[in-house]
Amino acid sequence: MSEWTIGIIGGSGLYEMEALEDAQWIAVDTPWDAPSDELLIGRLYGHKFVFLPRHGRGHRIPPGDLNFRANIDALKRAGCTDVVAISAIGSLREELPPGRFVVVDQFIDRTVGRPSSFFGPGLVAHVSMADPTCPRLSAMLSDAAEAAGSDVTRGGTYLAMEGPQFSSRAESELYRQWGCDVIGMTAMPEAKLAREAELPYALVGMVTDYDCWRVGDKPVEVAEIIAQLMANAGRARTMVELFAKALPPTREASPIDTVLDAALITAPSARDPKMLARLDAVCRRAIG
C-alpha cells in the first residue's frame, strides 16, 4: 500500500479550485523534451494532485503537436501513481447528447505520425492494451461525476482521430458502423504511453457535440464546442473534488503497477545504456 498521487491531464481551467492547497507551478525536464506546460502540484483533501494543461495554458498546442511522451514522463517523474484524463469529445450516438460525461473503456487508434512508445531499438517492450483503462479509477470517477450532477455513461469506445480537422460525414458514419461511441483527438497515444509507464489511466470524456453524422444538423464548429466546454467546466471541477474526497486513505496496489514485468523482451545484456538512461523514470522499477 502507498499514498495516492493523482495526475490530471485536462483543460487549462480545470485546476482553478479553491480547495487546492499549497499549489505551486513546477517545471519538469524530461529526456523527451518539454511537456505541454509546467505542472501544478498541490494537495486536494489530503491527497497529492498534479495538474498538467494538455494543450498548455491558453490552449496553444494542437493535438498532433502534443509531446505525449514528455507529458507522461513528467507525470511519472512527479511521482504520480495514477493518471486521470479529462477531455472534450464528440458523440457518435443519439443517446450521448452534449453535456453527458462518458467514462470510456476502449479505444480505436486512428492517429498517424505520433510517436506512440517509449521503447524502441535497444530496449523492446510489448505491453497489453486489451483493457486500456483502469477499472478502479473509472468506477470512482463515474461515481464522482454522478455525485457532481452529471449524466454519466459508464463505458464506451473512443475513436482517436488525428485532426486537427473535424471528421467528414463519411468518416463519422464509418466510425459509427465500427461500433464507436465517441470521438476525440487526444487519447492516443496518451493511454498507450501511460500503460508503458505503469500508470493506471482513466478517461472522462465530456460530450460537446454530435460530430457531423446527424442528417440535417450543421457541421460542428469551435464556438459550439467552447460554449459546451464552459457549461461542463464547473461539473468537471466538482467531479475532481468529489473524487479526491472519496479516495481511500491508502492506495492498494494495481496490476497495472507491474505490467513491464511481462512486457520487456530485450535481454539485459543486449539493452542499450543510452536507452536505459532515457527510460530512467518510465521503467526505473522494472530495470532496477
The three-class DSSP label of residue 155 is: coil
Q: Residue 151, SS3?
A: coil
Q: Which of 110, 115, 85, 76 is nearest to 260 (CA)?
A: 76
Distance of CA 116 to the CA centre of its chain: 14
Q: How far apart are CA 59 and CA 39, in angstroms?
A: 15
Verify whether residue 211 is a known catalytic residue: yes
Only one residue has cell 507491474, namely 258
Which of 206, 212, 266 lies closest to 232, judged by CA?
Answer: 206
Residue where the block lists cell 469551435: 222
Catalytic one among 33, 65, 209, 272? 209
Catalytic residue among 65, 151, 211, 261: 211
The residue type at 169: R
Task: Establish whether 73 is a catalytic residue.
Answer: no
Closest Cα to residue 101, out of 238, 247, 256, 245?
Answer: 238
> What DSSP element (H or E) covers 99?
none
What is the chain's Cα-based Rg? 18
For the annotated catalytic residues, the residue numbers are 209, 211
